[in-house]
Structure 1
Amino acid sequence: MLSNLKDQPADKILTLMQSFREDPRDEKLDLGVGVYKDASGHTPIMSAVKKAEAWLLESETTKSYTGLAGDPAYAAAMRSLVLADSVAADRVAAIATPGGTGAFRQGVDLIRTASPEATVWVSAPTWPNHLSILKTTGTPFVEYRYFDASTGHVDFDGMIADLDSAKEGDVVLLHGCCHNPTGANLTDDQWRQVADLLLRKKLVPMVDLAYQGFGDGLDADAQGTRILAETQPEMLIGASCSKNFGIYRERTGILFAIGDAAQTKTVQGNLNHLNRQNYSFPPDHGARLVSTILTDDALRAEWQAELEGMRTGMLDLRQQLADELRQRTNSDRFDFIAQHRGMFSRLGVDADKVETMRRDHGVYMVGDSRMNIAGLNADTVPILAAAIAKTCG
């Protein structure tokens, strides 16, 4: 049996990380890996998380399983964080998942269970694992225009034109904020136009919210998701706590399914069934930390202050890089970097130029020119700006 297996293609980002580690140069920049880093290049544990862990260590009395859906307190806390009062609680079913990836996979499996003929529409480009999971599960998908590499902004007219050709019952995958890999987001007005199209075409939105709090703030980053929740009869949302709580290795995510209140019990039962068939009971440690922080006023305030520092730090780096590039290129070509949000921006240059920056300047970014802004600090921004200006200016 095992002799029938074939080698799988190497993950491009993991391969890039390995190449970076093997590069002997002292002056090199790792802008490929998709995790937050502070100015020293370290991914820290947030102080509120440390305190919640200490409290949990002292107070936890069992390591027995939680329910199939996970801890109800976690679901309630995350529902409040993501949705606020945009939708009635009795319309929302939820399951805890291993990270945002697990939420997306369970969401795809729910789609296949409920509507196997549905096509999933995904932005061009999108997070590569979206496409990988859709292909692995045999789920039909179509790309819609999203990013205009020539301007560095959303091709909204192209997006709307493409989605207008979707058929009733199709699913539209949307990034809630901090679009990965481009950093280009929809405005609130554009979200409302998308909501109108979804209603008119009877399409089902599926939102991937992986970076809430990394863009314009916790509430602002959830605004698009809440606009949809207020207006759509049905909706799926996958949320991750990896970035905004810094608990990557705890694999803490959640999947929400919003529908008619009369169907919530059935929807919840189907979500529970999906968890049972996949990994039975979801991990709890990270979820317990999140619910502890979100339900304690002091811890929540401490967490929000630290998250705000991370967010504004990335905005400062974006502005510094855009200013440096304007000065070095004597043009506004790269001003869009300051307008993007989240950890990522896509430069919109070809793979040859990306390779030239790696070879000649020790700048490592993904081949599609996605770079992790959080991989920079105030001292390395000029190094990156010089490499971009020399290679692409």
Structure 2
Amino acid sequence: MLNTLKPQPADKILALMGQFRADPRETKIDLGVGVYKDATGHTPVMRAVKDAERRLWETETTKTYTALAGEPAYHAAMAGLILGDGLPVDRVAALATVGGTGAVRQGLELIRMANPDATIWVSDPTWPNHLTILSYLGMKTRPYRYFDTETRSVDIAGMMADLSQIQPGDVVLVHGCCHNPTGANLTLTDWAALAALLEEKGAMPLVDLAYQGFGDGLDADAAGTRLLAARLPQMLIAASCSKNFGIYRERTGILLALTPDAATRDLAQGTMAYLNRQNYSFAPDHGARLVTMVLTDAGLRADWEAELEEVRTGMLALREQLAAELRQLTNSDRFDFIARHRGMFSRLGATPGQVEKMRDDHAIYMVGDSRLNIAGLNATTVPILARAIVDAGV
């Protein structure tokens, strides 16, 4: 039977990682994989997480299962982090998931159970896994314009024009901050316009919040999500702890469902727990427990926020340095958008041929659509990348 399986397309980023590893050049630079790295190219364990792990090792007495939906303390800590002081506790259902990807998948499964005919509107471009999961689930999708390739900013007019066609019961998948792959973010004015449209059309947002704290700060990065929560009767939020807590391999995520009332919350909570049971029964707890400890201990939280701020401002400094280098080399401001973008990624606007030339001539590895991971740079390699961009004719 297994010989009837059909080969699946290779993941382009994983394939790029393999090419990078095989490249013998000592000067090679990896800007492809979407993982935070410090100036030495290392993805460190954050201080507060390390401290929490030490405390957990000393105090944990069992490895038995936790609840199907995860621990209530984790739900409360993450809901507070995402939704802030305006958290409507009696209207929020929560589900611990296997990473942010698991949260997206469970959110889409929940939508499919609630309305199999829903169309999921997805930004063009978006994180490739959004599209592959939707395709695998057989859900209806439509793209909406998002990125203006000329200005390298959000095409809000095109976005709103496309979304004016949404129907009641449709779902708009939107990046909460640090848009992947472009780095271009909605303004609060844009978020307000989106909220008004969703309210008018009777559609629901699914916010993918994978990078809270990596853009403009923890609260600023959640501001758009909080605005939607304040305006709309229901929404879904899929959040990841991989980046802002640096616990990629612990696979820690959460799905939040904002519901119109407490009765609907209970219904959603039961259904979400059912989805976990059908998929993997109990979500991993180790990472979720560490996150809970960090968020609920004043000392650990202060240290975590301080280190996260160091990470965020470090990436902003690299953006500003790269934009300045390119301004000097080109005697123009056409690359200033790099400094305006937020998060780990920016899309340069290079052609696949230009990306290949940078790889062949300068050992610089980025995704074929010219998405580059700013966190793969350091102060020494920024000038190398800038020269490669100019030499490739971008």
Corresponding position of 2:361: 360
Please list the CA deviations of residues 363-390 of structure 1 after superposition, one character each: whole Å capped at 9, or x if unmatched: 1000000000000000000000000011
Equivalent residues of 2:327, 2:336 under 8 A apart: yes
Pairs within 5 Å for 1:2-13: 2-13=2-13
1:220-272 C-alpha deviation (Å, 9 max, x unpaired): 00000000000011100000000000000000000001112221111100000
1:292 is aligned to 293
Aligned partner of 1:376 in structure 2 is 377
1:50 is paired with a residue whose SS is helix
Q: What residue number does 2:156 align with?
A: 156
Moved more, 211-220 or 22-31: 22-31
SS of equivalent residue, structure 2 residue 392: helix
Name 2:47's counterpart in structure 1: 47
Q: CA deviation at 1:392?
A: 2.4
> Residues 221-240 of structure 1 correspond to what in structure 2 (within 5 A)?
221-240=221-240
Which position in structure 2 is the counterpart of 1:26? 26
Whole-angstrom CA distance in 2 between matches of 1:109 and 1:337:
36
Amino acid aligned to 2:213: G
TM-score (norm 2): 0.99
| 2:338 equivalent to 1:350 | no
User: What is the CA–CA distance in structure 2 between the aligned matches of 1:348 and 1:225, rounded to whole Å?
Assistant: 28
Query: Per-residue deviation at 1:279?
Result: 0.5
Q: How far did residue 87 of structure 1 move?
A: 3.7
Residue matched to 1:59: 59
In the alignment, residue 76 of structure 2 is paired with which amino acid? Answer: A
8 A contact 1:86–1:227 mirrored in 2: no
**SS of the residue 2:86 aligns to:** coil
1:189, 1:86 → 2: CA distance?
Answer: 20
CA distance in 1, matches of 2:95, 2:155: 34
Residues 126 and 181, structure 1, Cα contact 8 Å, conserved in 2: yes
1:104-123 to 2 correspondences below 5 Å: 104-123=104-123
For the residues of structure 2 that align with 1:177 and 1:86, how far apart are their CA atoms? 19
Deviations 1:22-54 (A, max 9, x none): 111111110001000000000000010000000
Separation in structure 2 between the aligned mates of residue 224 and residue 369 of structure 1, nearest angstrom: 27
Corresponding letter in the other structure for 1:40: T
Does the Cα contact within 8 Å between 1:107 and 1:238 map onto a contact in 2? Answer: yes
Q: Secondary structure of 2:85's partner?
A: coil
Letter paired with 1:17: M
Q: Find the counterpart in structure 2 of residue 71 from structure 1.
A: 71
Q: Counterpart of 1:386 in structure 2: which amino acid?
A: R
Query: Which residue does 1:320 correspond to in 2?
Result: 321
**1:7 positional shift:** 1.1
- CA contact 2:234–2:258 (8 Å) conserved in 1: yes
Read off the aligned partner of 1:279 and give its amino acid letter: Y
Q: Any stretches of 5+ residues in structure 1 without a counterpart?
A: none
Match of 2:37 in 1: 37
Give 1:168 deviation, angstroms.
1.1
Structure 2: stretches of 5+ with no match in the other structure = none
Give the drift of 1:4: 0.4
Q: Which deviates more from structure 2 when the two are superposed, residues 82-91 or residues 304-313?
A: 82-91
Q: Which residue of 2 aligns with 1:183?
A: 183
SS in 1 for 2:190: helix
Residues 124-139 of structure 1 aligned to structure 2 (within 5 Å): 124-139=124-139
1:6 Cα deviation from its structure 2 partner? 1.3
Q: Say if 1:124 and 1:145, in contact at 8 Å, map to a contact too.
A: yes
Partner of residue 268, structure 2: 267
The runs of 4+ residues in structure 1 deviating greater than 2 Å are none
CA positional deviation for 1:86: 2.9
**8 A contact 1:205–1:235 mirrored in 2:** yes
Q: Secondary structure at the match of 1:84?
A: helix
SS of residue matched to 1:392: coil
Conserved? CA contact 2:80–2:87, under 8 Å:
no
Alignment correspondent of 1:305:
306
What RMSD, in angstroms, separates the aligned Cα atoms of the two structures?
Answer: 0.7
Partners of 1:317 and 1:376 within 8 A in 2: yes
Q: Identity of paired residues, percent?
A: 67
Q: Contact 1:87–1:230 (CA<8 Å) still a contact in 2?
A: no
TM-score, normalised by the number of residues in structure 1: 0.99
Deviation at 1:179, TM superposition (A): 0.2
Do the aligned residues in 2 keep the contact of 1:96 with 1:253 (CA within 8 Å)? yes
Question: Does the 8 Å CA contact 1:32/1:371 hold for their aligned counterparts?
Answer: yes
- The number of equivalent residue pairs is 393
